[in-house]
Amino acid sequence: MNQKSFYDLLNRYESGNCTEAEKLWVDKWYHNLNSHDFKDLSSTALEEMQANVWLNLNNTEQKSAPALKVKKLWPKFAIAASIMVAFFIAGLYLANYNRAEQSFLDENADLNLISKTNESDSTMVIALSDQSTVTLKPQANIIYPKVFAANKRTVYLKGSAFFSVSKNPNRPFYVYNQKLVVRVLGTSFWVKSATDKMPAQVAVRTGKVSVAENQKSSLFSFAEKKLAKPILLTPNQKGIFTDHQLNKTLVSKPIPLDEAYNIPTSVSYNFKEESIKEIFKTLSEAYGIEIKSDNEQIATYTFTGDLSKKGLYEQLDLICGTISGKYYIQGTSIVVSNKN
């Protein structure tokens, strides 16, 4: 049974046009399917299992055996192999199937929904009914109501987009995608859907963002499945979703908070014989990121130099270069060390 034949069988089963034997087989297949957690298997694993079934089948064909035995055993083995192949093909399909978008459409069926895709090579800005804006990256798609509901604002995203959400404590703003649910009141942030090369991500520019796993992404609900623990992100922090886990780290290019919020500042990055301890305090407050050292000796050093018009990581590179040290990211903090 190939993939097409298997899907034809499922269609006939749903329409009530299959035989009793076929109906019995599909009923058993569904029963077995519910006893396996295919969501815990990757697409690669399912493909490997399917390939192994065919490999074993081919190897058996190549083995020499008496003609009489082959004649007797072949029908049973072929049926068993076909069932296994169909089982794993279906498992592969279900592992890749994601019902998050359909659930969003169903839950918002009473609203006038609009779907827009950025088919250009540059970004596209979309104004929403609440004065919020969405900047779609090329090939990204967003589904949103022409007018938001009275109690909440919801959109569904495929691809990557930057959101600038107007504040309204009485109407929280939700961004759904295949893997995540992002909840905000008024802030700006990036949402990136998962791809073959990159996991789903959320990066915050201003405000606070709550990120949780989208429970509607699975076709089946498994009692033993553990959803990712929700996380809260603040400016310059990023959440990454992999294997039902949400981890917090820092964005690749942190920006000062005054720049993010577009407010004036009197912070100077031109230091003259300033203690490293005070410089770390200045940078920590400027970026909203904890910067610390792993030993007290570093705090006694001083630094002279102009760090203006340089990114945070470049600033730290220059500081570390004068003390023969290095820095590394630890969760949402930065640790400076001069240990070899």
227-277 residue pLDDT tens: 899 999 999 999 999 988 999 999 999 999 999 999 999 999 999 999 999
Q: What is the CATH number of domain 100-250?
A: 2.60.120.1440
- 3 state SS of 150: coil
How far apart, in whole angstroms, are the C-alpha atoms of residue 96 and residue 10?
A: 18
Task: List all residues 6 or more positions away from 94 whose beta carbon is below 8 Å from its beta carbon.
Answer: 33, 38, 219, 220
Residues of the chain with CATH 3.55.50.30: 257-337
143-154 residue pLDDT tens: 999 999 999 999
CA angle 235, 236, 242 (to 5 degrees): 110
pTM (2 decimals)?
Answer: 0.71
- Residues 156 and 101: beta-carbon distance below 8 Å: yes
Query: Both tokens of residue 54?
Result: 């065919």
Please give the share of the chain, as a percent, with pLDDT higher than 70. Answer: 69
Residues of the chain with CATH 2.60.120.1440: 100-250
φ, ψ of residue 52 in degrees (nearest 5)? -65, -35
Position with higher pLDDT, 66 vs 208: 208
pLDDT (0 to 100) of residue 151: 94
Fold of 257-337: Phage tail protein beta-alpha-beta fold (3.55.50)
pLDDT (0 to 100) of residue 54: 45
For the cut 90, the answer to whether the pLDDT of residue 44 exceeds it is no
Give me the chain's average pLDDT, please.
82
- Residues 154 and 166: beta-carbon distance below 8 Å: no
